[in-house]
Structure formats: structure tokens, C-alpha cells
Amino acid sequence: MAPLSGCLKGKHLFDFDMLGLKPVLLSALKKQGFDTPTPIQNQAIPLAMEGHDILGLAQTGTGKTMAFGLPLVEHLLDQPGKPAPKTAKALILAPTRELVNQIADSLRLLTHDTPLKVTTVVGGQSIGRQISVLSRGTDILVATPGRLIDLMDRGAVSLRTVQHLVLDEADQMLDLGFIHALRKIAPQLGTPRQTMLFSATMPKQMEELSGAYLDNPRRVQVAPPGKAADKITQSIHFVDKPGKPGKLREILSRDEDALTLVFARTKHGAEKLMKGLVADGFNAASIHGNKSQGQRDRAIKAFRAGEITTLVATDVAARGIDIPGVAYVVNYDLPEVPDNYVHRIGRTARAGREGEAIAFCAAEEVDLLHQIEKLMKIEIPVASGDRPEPVRSDKPRRRGGGGGGGGGRNRKGPGQGKGNGQRFDKPAQGTGKPRRQRRRRAA
């Protein structure tokens, strides 16, 4: 196939038919109603199909999964033969269980009429069953880093045959403290390989991460980091903390049938808020780190189907929910990490739809609001209340994942160099705390 990247500069959008994809993939796209690639797909797919490493930057809801999924499946279809027992041909790492499941669902739609097999491994599910499934081998393994390491330690999976690596929402992995897990996984991967790294933001640590992970990558970017989707209408209500529950009920009552995602900062706060809403007759559920995987899956499924109209969540859900029908996102508590605001509101206005993002801001959160507006280079329109003077606190603010993201304290950069011809092989550095303890802190 002739290289396409040279003729695809600028904003021109081509049809999927022009990519030279196999008929089975074009048929799968047609069944899903996809005719024209999104901007990130427009830029990334041709380069990935040519075999380049990719550093992809795009806001949430822009089609990143298909941007790496299509070229990945195309490459695997060109590799005949079944995977050997306990091996995989491609590995996709994502920071949360919800995002792993979302990616796998999208890939299964692409591979439905092919011999390719997609397998997921995440925490909170039976490790015995996962060991059994992996014993037969898989083409595409989608995993959270922590559970993958548990399986590697048990000898249940070998990564020596992996020739395609995808890191999705890599900046969130940094926030959740997964850099040490990545260092342990990377030396076990096959070489040479193609690596694709996708993220919604590009903090300094991401630059270091890409330098360690990628070999002469092609950078594709369709929106400045920190920019929300154009079809999201944003507003802010200045309201003191005791007034937040009443303001939320007022907003929910305006459109009770609309799907509304409400973000709280802590697991306890999310659960308490949800129970209060249910007691007042609202059709609500919650997802956070104290919920089992089954409970989280059932809540998201019910929310997707419209059986539940209000879902209260911590940041564990900010990147793992891809439900086009979400009409409103309410930031009940502002996140302590400004980037997380962008990820949260990116849960609405998906797949070309319009959406509304509503935020509450108490006096003690004014500084957080200032950081968010500085990141986004906008001033969020005020819907009610007056901007109060910021409340200063002597307590040092925690850096990291904020409302349930956790695990990002005192994190080190990914390191430099690629010794012995391997990437990511520098020994882990950090707090010295057990890895399991750090993972439990995440919501």
C-alpha cells in the first residue's frame, strides 16, 4: 500500500475506504455507522499503518480507541497463525477497569468476523478464570497494569511475543502511580515492536514517558491540551458547601429523564450523595473504588440503558465511560488536579452530540477554579452566585489523582535511557511503599 501520510496534512477528512483497510474492517465500520474518520483518526491511522510509533494527543470523546484499534487489527490480520498458549500478540494497557472494558468492547466490534480474539484482565474479577482464559493464548490483551503483573508473577502469561503495545490515557497512569508497574512490564515485551501512546493531556512527565517508551515517534495532535470539546456548554454556580445538595436537586429536577453524571471528590462523599438523592426520589446509583467490579459494571450498564438517570462517580469513571447519551456533567466538587476537569466534562458531547457541563464552586474551591480556567485559557461563564474571595489553607494540597484518582504522591519521572537495547528497563524508583498499597489507594 502506498504511504498516505504525506497527502493527509491539514484538516482534510478522507473516507475510511481510502485507507486500504481489509474488507472485513470496512464492513465492521459500516455496520457501526462510521463513514468519515475523526481528526485524530485522520492523522494517526495512516502513520500507524506504516508502522511508526505514535504519540497521540486529543481531547476525550474524539475517537482515540479507533485511532489505534483499526491499524492494530489490520496489522494482526496480516500475521497468520494462532497465538501460543499463555501469550499475546498485542498488549493494550489502560489505567482503569472501566476503560479496559470500553476498549475491549470497541475492538470486539471490529474483530467480530475475524479469527482474532480479544481478552481482558482487570482487578476485581476472578484471577483463576483469567488464568484459564490466558492458558489458551490471545491475539489482543487489554489489561490494567496491576492485574497484569499479578498474572505475570504467577507465570500465567508471557509477553515475549507482544509486537504491538498501546498505552491509552498514559497521563492517568502516571497519576495513579503505575509507572513502576510499566517499568516491570516493559522489559518482558518482544522486540522489535510498534508502540502507540495516547493521552488527553501532555504534562511534563508525559514528555519523559514518551522519550522512554517510543522510538522516533510521530506526534499527532488535534486540540491543545486542556481544551474541552467545542460542543460542551460550560457554566459555574458559586455556592457554599451546605448549599450544594439543594442546588444539585434543583438542576436534576429540570430534566429528570436526562442522563446526568455527577462527580464527587471522594468515595465516601460520592456514596453519601447518591444515598441522599435516592432518599429524595431520584433515580441514582454510584461507582467508586469501594464498589466491586460487578457493582460498577451493573451501574454503568443501567446508566447506559437509561434505567438509572443519575450516576454519581469519583474520577475513577472520568475516562472509562463512553456513553453518547450523557447530557449533563455536574462537577459537584471541583477536582484537585485541573486536567481532571477536562476529562470529567469530556463524558458529555460525545460522538458529535451537544452537552452541558455544570460546576459548583465553594469559597474553599476558588483557587481550584482559577487553576482550571488557567489550564483551559477561558473564564467559565457564571450561572449564579458571586465569586468569593479564595480561602487559604495551611494544609498542603495533595498532588495526584484527586477524587479517587489517588496514588500520585511523590511520583518519580520515568527515567532516562534505554539500556541494553530495551526500552523502559530502568529500575523502579519511588517511595518504597508496597505496590499493592499504592493501588488500593486509587478509587
Number of domain units in the chain: 2
* Whether residue 351 sits in one domain with residue 219: no
pLDDT of 352 reads: 63
Residue 396 lies in a domain: no
* Whether residue 421 sits in one domain with residue 346: no
pLDDT of 428 reads: 40
pLDDT of 214 reads: 92
The most confident of 95-99, 126-130, 201-205, 291-295, by mean pLDDT: 126-130
Using an 8 Å Cβ cutoff, are 189 and 165 in contact? yes
Q: Return the C-alpha cell found at 389.
A: 474571595
Of 324, 362, 331, 363, residue with least CA distance to 345: 331
Residue 129 lies in a domain: yes
Res. 153: pLDDT tops 50: yes
Of 314, 328, 397, residue with least CA distance to 356: 328
pLDDT of 60 reads: 67
pTM > 0.75: yes or no: no
Residue 215: pLDDT band with limits 50, 70, 90: very high
Residue 212: pLDDT band with limits 50, 70, 90: confident
* Whether residue 437 sits in one domain with residue 417: yes
Res. 211: pLDDT tops 60: yes
Taking the C-alpha atoms of residue 310 and residue 31, their distance in angstroms, rounded to an integer, is: 30
Query: How does pLDDT run across 306-338, given as a tens digit for each residue?
Result: 999 999 999 876 566 778 789 999 999 999 988
Res. 39: pLDDT tops 90: no
Whole-number average pLDDT of the chain? 83
Residue 34: pLDDT band with limits 50, 70, 90: confident
Taking the C-alpha atoms of residue 122 and residue 263, their distance in angstroms, rounded to an integer, is: 23
95 compared with 151, residue with greater pLDDT: 151
Residue 406 lies in a domain: no
* Whether residue 186 sits in one domain with residue 88: yes
287 compared with 354, residue with greater pLDDT: 287
pLDDT of 426 reads: 38
Boundary (domain end) residue, out of 384, 399, 428: 384
* Whether residue 330 sits in one domain with residue 198: no
| DSSP 8-class letter at 242 | G
pLDDT of 392 reads: 60
* Whether residue 190 sits in one domain with residue 269: no
DSSP letters spanning 177-219: TTHHHHHHHGGGS-SS-EEEEEES---HHHHHHHHHH-SSPEE
pLDDT of 165 reads: 97
* Whether residue 255 sits in one domain with residue 186: no
Radius of gyration over every alpha carbon of the chain, rounded to an integer in angstroms:
21
Taking the C-alpha atoms of residue 111 and residue 106, their distance in angstroms, rounded to an integer, is: 9
Q: Give bridge partners of residue 142 from the DSSP assignment.
A: 92, 120
Query: How does pLDDT run across 405-426, given as a tens digit for each residue?
Result: 333 333 334 343 333 334 434 3
Residue 66 lies in a domain: yes
Residue 188 lies in a domain: yes
Of 274, 245, 404, residue with least CA distance to 332: 245
Of 429, 388, 427, residue with least CA distance to 412: 429
Rounded average pLDDT over 238-252? 96
* Whether residue 373 sits in one domain with residue 422: no
Residue 293 lies in a domain: yes
Boundary (domain end) residue, out of 366, 384, 402: 384
Residue 394: pLDDT band with limits 50, 70, 90: low
Rounded average pLDDT over 335-362? 86
Residue 238: pLDDT band with limits 50, 70, 90: very high
pLDDT of 402 reads: 38
* Whether residue 97 sits in one domain with residue 48: yes
Rounded average pLDDT over 145-151? 95
Within a 13 Å sphere around the CA of 334, how many CA atoms are in the beta-carbon half? 25
Residue 397 lies in a domain: no
- Classify the phi-psi angles of 255: left when phi > 0, otherwise alpha if psi is within -120 to 50, otherwise beta: beta
Q: Return the C-alpha cell found at 186.
A: 516493559
Q: Return the C-alpha cell found at 160.
A: 515475549
Residues in the chain: 443
Q: Rounded to the nearest 5 degrees, what angle is found at the Cα of 418, between the Cα atoms of 415 and 424?
A: 60
- Return the C-alpha torsion angle 216, 41, 206, 75, nearest 10: -50
Res. 442: pLDDT tops 50: no
Question: What's 195's domain CATH number?
Answer: 3.40.50.300
209 compared with 104, residue with greater pLDDT: 104
Taking the C-alpha atoms of residue 101 and residue 97, their distance in angstroms, rounded to an integer, is: 6
Q: Return the C-alpha cell found at 2.
A: 502506498
Structural domain that includes position 365: 232-384
* Whether residue 212 sits in one domain with residue 307: no
pLDDT of 319 reads: 61
Residue 389 lies in a domain: no
* Whether residue 90 sits in one domain with residue 41: yes
Give 100's contacts (C-beta < 8 A, 6+ positions apart): 92, 94, 120, 122, 142, 143, 144, 320
Q: Rounded to the nearest 5 degrees, what angle is found at the Cα of 423, between the Cα atoms of 419 and 424?
A: 95
Query: How does pLDDT run across 178-187, given as a tens digit for each residue?
Result: 888 888 999 9
Residue 272: pLDDT band with limits 50, 70, 90: very high
Q: Return the C-alpha cell found at 291.
A: 464498589
Residue 437: exposure state from Cβ atoms within 10 A (0-12, 13-18, ≥19)? exposed
